Structure 1
């Protein structure tokens, strides 16, 4: 699985980097490196693998996910043990049953797979997803509301095409389109570092600034030619500026943009309602103390304007582990002796949603 390969490759990088940093007594940098790795593990690998962990089938994919997570956590405990001695000791002993993490060997990176290309590409995917979600926030569109299309534009955009299903699921869009042409959505603006260039160019600096503002410059490899002067790395920045009326967000490297289509039809709106229902039911399950694997019977009383969400009943049941879903008013007599009835009422988007949960017998 791509995600397994990615996090194992990142674990290898972590071992190599922490070995180097701690040999050089760069403790602060080593701590920061662990924080970055935890972000990749928790907010990307584990979150993107949730369905693999939760599914009922004990298949090879589920076992691979658990085996990978075990390897990652066990290795992390060993490399982080000099910096977090008590926390890693507790986790390591619970995880492995061994006497102490401090009695084990330092991890050998050669025992972990190396895949720098996948690591770099997946980091770009994470950057793309972050930019897309930031764009949603800027337009006040919740993540649970599915959108029709995400367009990724930039010279290297097609290189991410193999990750389209992962991107679509993370950003919650129906389609991901990749194209090299970026001019339709944004243009490059030159920002000259006057402090760095001033001592070198002297009086010519004013001419260069005027040419930069007028857009009279060209890129030649890693350099930029403006008003007869060549600017090198650290002397300028090329910033992507969205075209007027285009909902787009530049990626961190300023070489690609994410463009979202915010036009909604009835089907997309109804699916958004269904996702809101799932979130509310999952929250109620947690409050009831139900286990992740516990099945329930669910009754939903939805506002009239949400009637389209009933078309997603099977999906709601799958996500909430509710093989039985009743739409409409619920009678306590229907619960029988199968368990405690738990009724809930929540406000979502200015509408009242009522639902009742009965733990399955």
Structure 2
């Protein structure tokens, strides 16, 4: 007999004792005669598979069908469940099995199966191996949010994860520290300038950089919402990671920093403050489900003075995109500029030229339409590459040389018996003609024995080199309306005397900034600087003295010995001793 309720049990066994517990051992005191044969009935000594209890969870939690009938109907089947992969034959199965048997229905709509956590070498953690990591140690040494973020971004949830304190530290340094540094930059400068985003009219956003960031912010919201709604949590986290590190910190803030350091609070400076605040406040709400403690601390401070603000970031609405701020063309063009800047940095590195050393020009080689898209954003490319000017060309032969090698793995199967003759003819063609045609049209035609053979990009290997006096970076592919084009960025490697003197000034600035950090000076602290060096070197510095003063907050820079913190440096084989005194 299977008794289905207390009421049914009382019909057979009489009034149940007060506080009756239907589990062992209290239930063992209950007995009653069998209504069919008259023999005494007691609890069955064998128990049902305990996994039945887990399978009954959807209705048992509501004490259905004895109460909460409507609530159960509203919530069954559930939208989402998650557990480790071993539950595929456990809870994931029993939920469906019981639901099918009792209700003729599935139990849940979506399931996220989690991979197991392994040690740093990819081995299963076990006490016998001694490779178990105590999470409380990670909480104390690194932080709970850092550990959470590591699990979100390291791999898809269903993939087994290698885990160690070192890995969590790397994740914290890469993302959480970057987020906090951007937040600290905003707070420190806003306090100095007494900027309050909660009072006054919103500034008019006209800067292409501000418009780009606000567009990217709304696009990010669309991406995060889409990925989270489809349970692709790792994709949402990685989109946030890339936005904060690559776009907000490494691009927007790098390119905007000087706007915050101006003395006057003009409209452009207010726009920069407003845009950075919007980005931080919105990203904080997007990140709240992922890193609850860090976001709560940031939100509490950002929302001070806002009477409409929620008490906690976890009581705010999840961000919605501002559709009228989305400009996909601007996003596409800025992405191209960002990638060209990376290409330019690699071109400098190929010749051992430091980024802080100015160069005369950068040259962008591309088709006319692509160049028109880059031109309005030229200032960001010029500043990032530290060049005096950016020039444009639609003629790659003016700056580049090409060599073309056949890819036999592609040509052989494609042309079969004619492949050898195609390769022979290819060797007779001008490499420039072949390469440029492949870049612009994606194909190049050959005539062999009266037949036309068309080769495509995968049929050859193209090697590109810069002509004398230039260095070229990695080619950048630009896609618009489904059409691919190749864009090259070159830097002029000639270093004139004027550029050499400016490079020297930048090297001195770098050393003074390092010494300010050693002295733990506030970043608004004024200083006095003395420089001991060869008189000719100091004359070179004098040409850029106002630049050095402005960058280092030095009120005076004198030649000779000084009082204060003193340090000796060697710059371009010249011995230079710098002394700093705080004002």
Where do 1:132-151 residues align within 5 Å? Answer: 132-151=344-363
Match of 1:181 in 2: 395
1:182–1:256 Cα contact (<8 Å) kept = no
Deviations 1:291-320 (A, max 9, x none): 111111222223344231111111111111
After superposing the two structures, state which structure 1 stretch, 303-312 or 129-138, moved more: 303-312
Q: Displacement, 1:287?
A: 1.5
C-alpha distance in structure 2 between counterparts of 1:324 and 1:241, whole Å: 49
Deviations 1:212-237 (A, max 9, x none): 565585558555545635567x8557
C-alpha distance in structure 2 between counterparts of 1:18 and 1:214, whole Å: 53
1:127–1:252 Cα contact (<8 Å) kept = yes
How many residues are aligned here?
350
C-alpha distance in structure 2 between counterparts of 1:104 and 1:191, whole Å: 59
Higher RCO structure (Cα 8 Å, ≥6 apart): 1
After superposing the two structures, state which structure 1 stretch, 217-226 or 52-61, moved more: 217-226
Unaligned runs of 5+ in 1: 333-340
Match of 2:379 among 149, 165, 172: 165
Where do 1:52-63 residues align within 5 Å? Answer: 52-63=259-270
2:505–2:541 Cα contact (<8 Å) kept = yes
C-alpha distance in structure 1 between counterparts of 2:272 and 2:460, whole Å: 41
Match of 1:16 among 213, 222, 243: 222
| RMSD, matched Cα | 2.8
C-alpha distance in structure 2 between counterparts of 1:29 and 1:194, whole Å: 38
TM-score by length of 2: 0.55
Q: Displacement, 1:83?
A: 2.9
Where do 1:110-125 residues align within 5 Å? Answer: 110=322, 113-125=325-337
Where do 1:226-265 residues align within 5 Å? Answer: 228-230=452-454, 235=458, 239=462, 241-243=464-466, 245=468, 247-249=470-472, 250-253=474-477, 255-265=486-496
Q: Displacement, 1:112?
A: 6.3
Where do 1:284-299 residues align within 5 Å? Answer: 284-299=515-530
Match of 2:555 among 323, 333, 337: 323
Larger radius of gyration: 2
2:399–2:466 Cα contact (<8 Å) kept = yes
1:192–1:209 Cα contact (<8 Å) kept = yes
After superposing the two structures, state which structure 1 stretch, 118-127 or 212-221, moved more: 212-221
C-alpha distance in structure 1 between counterparts of 2:461 and 2:278, whole Å: 41
Match of 1:338 in 2: none
C-alpha distance in structure 2 between counterparts of 1:136 and 1:70, whole Å: 34
Match of 2:512 among 281, 290, 308: 281
Unaligned runs of 5+ in 2: 1-206, 305-309, 478-484
Closer, same or farther in 2 for the Cα pair 1:28/1:206, shift >3 Å? farther
1:189–1:215 Cα contact (<8 Å) kept = no
Closer, same or farther in 2 for the Cα pair 1:84/1:208, shift >3 Å? farther
2:407–2:461 Cα contact (<8 Å) kept = no
Deviations 1:62-99 (A, max 9, x none): 22211111111111122222333333333223322453
